[in-house]
């Protein structure tokens, strides 16, 4: 943990955000869900699909998701979204495919998502350092930077991603300190890279820290003690129940007398002293 926090470092400016994204497998690239496993190649054309063509197709796919939600979701909503982008956030929140990538302002929230699953493989944490122009969605600054006078979003091949803080349409967004990037043409054949980032913001950087497999269990225990768990990051009954159903860490298992029956949970043994944990991670 000390090495990870040293890598995170101190904020470089008060006027820009450091954004973190944790992934459970280190080989996961920065591709929004709607662009994964999708073939946007043009039959008979050997070169890469033009950015305007790829962006158009991905926007049409996402538009279908939003149209479906607008038609069918209102009876189940306590708060009806105000804008198209609110609908996209709602879709992402409930597992639909969108052009959004989830980030957080908390390095520890990102670390949790890097170690939460896939304990048999390295995780990672991605870090965008000092990203400017990350306003609240719908704010005057957002409308000035990212919208035309006619109300259209400025998201195209010349401005291929937008970063924003979403409206808090759920408690989960609030407690996870969520930030989103919304992408024009990012898909399997063209993942988001530092080149894309610097194309809009030359003074930023995209970094990645690997979380070794053998550190995941330790980090998960440490994060739980600091209040970062499924129960706290996913407020509600689902978070409570998933927190109860998690695996028993190997180091607890080995210290229990006899063999732990399959599927049995157990309280951790009391420890004397403190434990020094080193390692780092990033997605």
Global pTM reads: 0.80
Reported as a single tens digit per residue, the pLDDT across 20-78 is: 999 999 999 999 999 987 766 655 544 566 777 778 888 999 999 999 999 999 999 88
- Locate tokens 């930023």: which residue? 204
Backbone angles phi, psi at 144, to 5 degrees: -70, -40
As a whole-number percent, the residues of the chain with pLDDT over 90 amount to: 43
Picking from 38, 78, 67, 66, the residue whose alpha carbon sits closest to that of residue 54 is: 38
**H/E stretch holding 128:** strand 123-131
Distance (Å, whole) CA 139 – CA 127: 25
DSSP structural state of residue 235: T
| Beta carbons of 220 and 116 less than 8 angstroms apart | yes
Stretch among 13-17, 81-85, 202-206, 229-233 having the lowest mean pLDDT: 13-17
What is the rounded radius of gyration, in angstroms, for the C-alpha atoms of the chain?
Answer: 21
Say which residue the tokens 């904020």 belong to: 11
Q: Over the range 122-142, which residues count as b (16 or more CB within 10 Å of their CB) and which as e? A: bbbbbbbbbbebbbebbeeeb
Lowest mean pLDDT of 9-13, 79-83, 227-231, 264-268, name the range. Answer: 264-268
Neighbours of 36 (CB within 10 A): 14
Residue 269 has pLDDT above 50, yes or no: no
Q: What is the pLDDT of residue 259?
A: 52
Question: Which residues share a beta bridge with 126?
Answer: 21, 208
The two tokens of residue 161 are 């991603």
231-265 pLDDT, tens digit per residue, is: 889 888 877 887 776 555 555 555 555 554 544 44
Q: How far apart (Å, rounded) are the C-alpha atoms in residues 21 and 179? A: 10
Q: Which residues contact 219 (CB under 8 A, 6 or more apart)?
A: 1, 111, 114, 115, 211, 277, 279, 281
């Amino acid at each position: 943990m000390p090495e990870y926090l040293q890598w995170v470092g101190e904020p470089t400016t008060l006027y820009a955000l450091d954004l973190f994204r944790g992934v459970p497998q280190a080989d996961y690239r920065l591709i929004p869900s709607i662009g994964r496993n999708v073939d946007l190649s043009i039959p008979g054309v050997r070169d890469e699909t033009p950015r305007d063509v790829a962006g158009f197709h991905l926007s049409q796919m996402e538009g279908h998701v939003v149209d479906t939600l607008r038609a069918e979701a209102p009876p189940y909503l306590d708060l009806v979204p105000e804008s198209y982008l609110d609908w996209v956030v709602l879709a992402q929140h409930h597992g639909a495919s969108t052009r959004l990538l989830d980030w957080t302002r908390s390095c520890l929230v990102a670390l949790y998502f890097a170690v939460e699953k896939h304990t048999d493989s390295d995780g990672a944490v991605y870090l965008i350092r000092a990203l400017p122009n990350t306003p609240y969605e719908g704010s005057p600054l957002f409308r000035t930077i990212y919208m035309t006078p006619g109300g259209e979003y400025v998201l195209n091949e010349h401005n291929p991603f937008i970063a924003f803080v979403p409206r808090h349409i759920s408690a989960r967004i609030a407690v996870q300190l969520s930030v989103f990037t919304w992408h024009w043409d990012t898909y399997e054949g063209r993942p988001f890279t530092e080149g894309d980032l610097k194309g809009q913001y030359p003074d930023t950087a995209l970094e990645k820290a690997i979380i070794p497999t053998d550190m995941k269990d330790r980090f998960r225990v440490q994060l739980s003690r600091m209040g970062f768990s499924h129960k706290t990051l996913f407020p509600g009954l689902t978070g409570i129940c998933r927190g109860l159903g998690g695996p028993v860490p190997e180091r607890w298992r080995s210290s229990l007398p006899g063999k732990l029956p399959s599927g049995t949970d157990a309280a951790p043994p009391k420890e004397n002293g403190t434990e020094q944990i080193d390692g780092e991670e990033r997605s």
